[in-house]
Structure 1
């Protein structure tokens, strides 16, 4: 038994050594630079003199395809909008380098959330789309990187610059807080990652290069506090305009060796115990873990006002109603039977079901057979189900594509 305990101790030490060898954080992914672009805007003043500003944007779209759509801050293109856009003499360009730029067009924006969506006339092969990743509370303290074209960097040092992706500035810091802004409901990421004018609109990325937020502002009270708008604020605009994008999926491959080593050590201990103690009791069969549902869960509205709009479900519940500040599937003001915050839906991947909760709506949330849901009581529904808000004309289909 003494030898057995000694052997088990050695194996356990090996397990702990493997665990301690796990990487603490990932380095900056250089491929991120392939997805950013400088945004140049211009607008005439009252005397007709053109004034120019610069900011940063990043491309979104399906992986492996030439991108056409750019995400940035609304305040980056604010002067262009106020000038009356191109018809009012405004200019808006995506600058790839000093010899290459392409005119951009404003697709949609939300001034309160400070997000905007731009489009090039044609897709470009000079850049690549970046992956998007909704932040999670577990990311507090994790390392992040702000990427952009800060104007201060070019003013402080008169560097030779081409405004290409290789001239972008990368600063590093960590996530210190997630918060919701009072008055707007805007979700923000607080970080100590340094930013300055020109960084606005650029991506705040994790070590894998996935975009967590849109670099937005520095604190007026603390020089070490900076803010990025959560990437979850641009997703409703992308969905509303049927713009395709790619979400980050965790890669467990980097931990495969670690988990394999731990598993092997555990097996060794188990075998030694069996041989020494001569236990003849058959091991209990391993319980099967429930398989997560495959495919993309979506909400498909059949209301004429939505024209077949599809909303993808990600990690967070989606609210439905008339309140544009919090709802991702938004009904027009005055739609009969629909409250401001009517109901919410999320998808439980482990069980493969949609979970619907009425949020105390005035006219109720109903199943397809007419049964009214009890307010604030979650109800599980399988894919290919349907609900309606107040009236059958406001039907939403629950599907997995």
Structure 2
């Protein structure tokens, strides 16, 4: 596949909402937080699986009727969270997907990269009408090259895991819904289609504080025309079977700096393989 258009034709921008860009190196985050996780991994609560999957794969390609969209949103909403970071350098907002009832959450690495050893990560569940409590979270693992990270909501129980789908079954033209907190507007859903598959996307690496941006991140993505805005990063792209098929991660901007209706998501099949490598052990859910 051809790479995403170059700088002279527009640019691909992450969909994290940076309130104030952090001025502390992300490398400190990984050295301090991930180092402490390795030491305590043996005693960590184990999980048996990530999210939940239907007992059987859909046998056909169901047609989404207008009246079916609210049911899809209602099913997925409890598993979508807002992820906030704060540090001495500033604050940021993104989204995340609940993987397990005991608090594992999947998001983009660039969503949590602004946190520093002196900062914090928090997670909030809820919708536009009803917001849940703000809870502290801890970084469990991260893969900057894949732009993915797993965090754990501290002392969590009873969270609603997202049903994970099969991104390999997607076809161009399939309807999808993007959910998250664009511009901090929690509980937002937007509708569109899969406009391309296996799109090679290249985006700038997360900011490394005073050192500037990190190495570029390249991955093959699901392309969609569902509206994405800053703050959608880390949220789910949901298919017509009400399962998560992608992690929304970037949006393409035209030469004027405005969105042209092209967004990108990391396929859930690719993300799940990396997540399993990040989490040390699996046990009872």
Q: What TM-score, normalized to structure 1? A: 0.45
CA distance in structure 2 between the partners assigned to 1:204 and 1:181 by the alignment: 18
Secondary structure of 1:224's partner? strand
Q: Determine the C-alpha separation between the residues in 2 that align with 1:136 and 1:99.
A: 33
Equivalent residue for 1:139?
A: 171
Quote the offset at 1:208 in angstroms: 2.4
Q: Classify the secondary structure of the residue corresponding to 1:96.
A: strand
Matched, 1:214 2:247: yes
Q: Does 1:71 align with 2:110?
A: no
The alpha-carbon deviation at position 204 of structure 1 amounts to 0.4
Identify unmatched segments of 5+ residues in structure 2.
1-60, 203-216
Going from structure 1 to structure 2, the CA distance change for 1:182 and 1:142 (only over 3 Å counts) comes to closer
- Distance in 2, Cα, partners of 1:138 & 1:103: 35
Cα deviations across residues 293-320 of structure 1 (Å, max 9, x unaligned)? xxxxxxxxxxxxxxxxxxxxxxxxxxxx
Q: Which structure has greater strand proportion?
A: 2
- For residues 72 and 243 of structure 1, do their structure 2 counterparts lie closer, same or farther at Cα, with a shift above 3 Å needed? farther
Q: Does residue 44 of structure 1 match 2:88?
A: yes
Q: CA shift at 1:236, angstroms?
A: 2.3
Q: Distance in 1 between matches of 2:144 and 2:235?
A: 17
- Please point out which of 162, 166, 172 is paired with 1:130: 162
Contact 2:111/2:234 (8 A) holds in 1: yes
Runs of 4+ deviating beyond 3 Å: 182-185, 242-245
Q: 2:96: which partner in 1?
A: 57
Alignment of 1:191 with 2:210, yes or no, is: no
1:216 and 1:117 map into 2 onto residues whose CA distance is 15
The residue number in structure 1 matching 2:210 is none
CA RMSD of superposed structures (Å)? 2.4
CA 1:36–1:173 in 2, change beyond 3 Å: closer, same or farther? same
Asked if structure 1 preserves the Cα contact closer than 8 Å seen for 2:245 and 2:268, the reply is: yes
Q: What secondary structure sits across from 1:201 in the alignment?
A: coil
CA spacing shift, 1:95–1:186, aligned 2, 3 Å: same
Compute the displacement of 1:41 (Å): 0.5
Structure 1 residue aligned with 2:64: 25
Q: How far apart are the structure 2 equivalents of 1:203 and 1:104?
A: 19
Matches within 5 A, 1:304-315: none
Counterpart check, 1:151 vs 2:183: yes
Q: Counterparts of 1:291-302 in structure 2 under 5 Å?
A: none
* Offset of residue 73 of structure 1: 0.7
Inter-partner Cα distance in structure 1 for 2:121 and 2:201 = 31
**Is the alpha carbon distance of 1:107 and 1:138 closer, same or farther for their aligned partners in structure 2, counting shifts above 3 Å?**
closer
CA pair 55-182 structure 1, distance change in 2 beyond 3 A: closer
Q: Residue 185 of structure 1: CA displacement?
A: 5.7
Cα offset for 1:99? 6.3
Q: Which runs of 5+ in 1 are unaligned?
A: 1-21, 46-50, 155-166, 246-401
Alignment match, 2:187: 168
Name the CA shift for 1:94/1:24 in 2 (closer, same or farther; >3 Å): same
Q: Larger relative contact order (C-alpha < 8 A, sep ≥ 6)?
A: 2
Q: CA shift at 1:232, angstroms?
A: 2.2
Distance of aligned partners of 1:242 and 1:136 in 2 relative to their CA distance in 1, 3 Å threshold: same
Aligned to 1:95: 124
Residue of structure 2 in register with 1:335 after alignment:
none
User: In the alignment, does 2:259 pair up with 1:231?
Assistant: no
Q: 1:141 to 1:67 in 2, by over 3 A?
A: farther
Q: Does the C-alpha gap of structure 1 residues 123 and 244 become closer, same or farther in structure 2, counting only changes over 3 Å?
A: farther
SS in 2 for 1:139: coil
**Residue 241 (structure 2) pairs with residue 200 (structure 1):** no
Contact 1:56 1:199 in 2 (8 A): yes
